[in-house]
Amino acid sequence: MMEEKHNKIKKKKLNQKYNSILNHSINSDLTSQNNVYFMSDEEKIEKIKKHFFQIMEILGLDMNDDSLRKTPKRVAKMFIQEIFSGLNPKNTPNFSIFENKYRYNQMLIEKNITVYSTCEHHFLPIIGKAHVGYISNGKVVGLSKINRIVNFYAKRPQVQERLTIQIVQSLKKMLETQDVACIIEAKHLCVNSRGIKDTDSSTVTTELIGSFKNNSEIRKEFLHHIGIS
């Protein structure tokens, strides 16, 4: 009885954590899906391995071939431990927030952050660069942590618009500042390698809040620093 109560409390806390800042979709409630976060990585890998094996069989591949035999396990491990690791709240990066003791009150920009994500419509890669800036309201974070935020939200099936917003909202909440900006330019292989097969096009998304949105001079400075006039 006590164990059941403990599990309910644990699940409620995990649901709250997931739905508050880690939601896959900004506006949707994934509470019903959160039971998967009580599965171990090994359980998830075994389930995905089984289903991916069936997919490969349906495609007509020889699953006795030495080159293919271990592919389902490789793909399953890659999904759970690497390219979709951002779906699991347990993988949330730990951040140390510091007081802005230097009273630096200009924008801080981390640009050309590598973005590797996956299009949720076709499960093909999204590859690009993110430029992130903020103005401190009394708190700062280590520079590499901005890269980790981008990486965490990118490691899941995504659309670029959502990814851009999630990065901004995460920094806004973490640093308690209203002044955050993010611009992402990326190539989508679902456009470049299939369908229209346009190998030259790229997608740009922008999320500006606070001074970056309302102050034209600050916005202009940010765009200048990241090389957009």
Q: Which residues are catalytic?
A: 119-122, 160, 188, 190
* 122 belongs to an annotated ligand binding site: yes
Q: What single DSSP character describes residue 80?
A: I
How far apart are the two ends of the chain, measured CA to CA in Å?
A: 63
Decide if 135 contacts 106 (C-beta within 8 A): yes
- Is 6 labelled a binding residue? no
Q: Is 182 annotated as a binding residue?
A: no
Amino acid identity for residue 109 in this structure: I
Rounded Cα distance between 92 and 106, Å, is: 28
Give Rg (Cα) of the chain.
20
Distance of alpha carbon 34 from alpha carbon 24, whole angstroms: 11
**CA–CA gap between residue 186 and residue 8 (Å, rounded):** 41
Annotated binding-site positions for Zn(2+): 119, 122, 190
